[in-house]
Structure 1
Amino acid sequence: MFRKTVLVGAAIAAVALLSSCDVDPQDAQRILADNGMKDIQLKGGSWFGCAKGDLYNTEFVATSANGRRVEGVICGGGLKGYTVRLY
């Protein structure tokens, strides 16, 4: 019984740690606008778009500074700031 409880607890903790947390929408809009993006549409969290240590991530679709439609993700975590990655 104890072993089963420990396994269930470990599984719940793993899911909580692996779940993505979205970048604040206002921050996401500002970060993308600062990078020359327009017509920004935020799509929500991304499971696999960022590095292992990133705590926050949000996928997006936008128009780049040169007028092309792009898709990507904003990644961030802790004290390192944010990174914009295009797919």
Structure 2
Amino acid sequence: MKRTTIIAAVALVLSGALSGCTAPAQSREVLLDAGYTDVEVGSYDWFGCSEDDTLRTKFKATGPSGRKVEGVVCAGIFFKGATIRYTRRG
């Protein structure tokens, strides 16, 4: 019983550590390369990306068309590029 409790606790800590991953510098570069300006990088986004994405960074910026947008940059740690997803267009 004690071993099962320890394994469960370790799994919970590791999943919490991995689920809170952001990549502010990478996200800023992705957005700037895509033509966004006035980029403000935020915190982790729990629901904006697919379950395959490990890095999930919120942002606010001015899009290439000049409109203000909010969204999330989704990416994987290995062998996966980044995706820009909008959560709000203004």
The TM-score, its normalising length taken from structure 2, stands at 0.79
Q: Partner letter of residue 74 of structure 1?
A: V
User: Structure 1 segments of 4 or more deviating over 2 A?
Assistant: 3-17
Match of 1:44 in 2: 43
Counterpart residue number, 1:8: 9
Distance 1:6 1:79, change over 3 A: closer
Which segments of 5 or more consecutive residues in structure 1 lack a partner in the other structure?
Answer: none
The correspondence of residues 65-76 of structure 1 with structure 2, limited to 5 A, is 65-76=64-75
1:21 aligns with 2:11: no
Q: Is the 8 A contact 2:24 2:42 kept in 1?
A: no
For residues 1-48 of structure 1, the C-alpha deviation after alignment (integer angstroms, 9 at most, x for no partner) is 51544443343344334x2211142x2222101111100001121111
Query: Which residue is equivalent to 2:85?
Result: 85
Give the residue type in structure 2 aligned to 1:63.
T
- Residue 86 of structure 1 deviates from its aligned partner by 0.7
AA aligned opposite 1:21: C
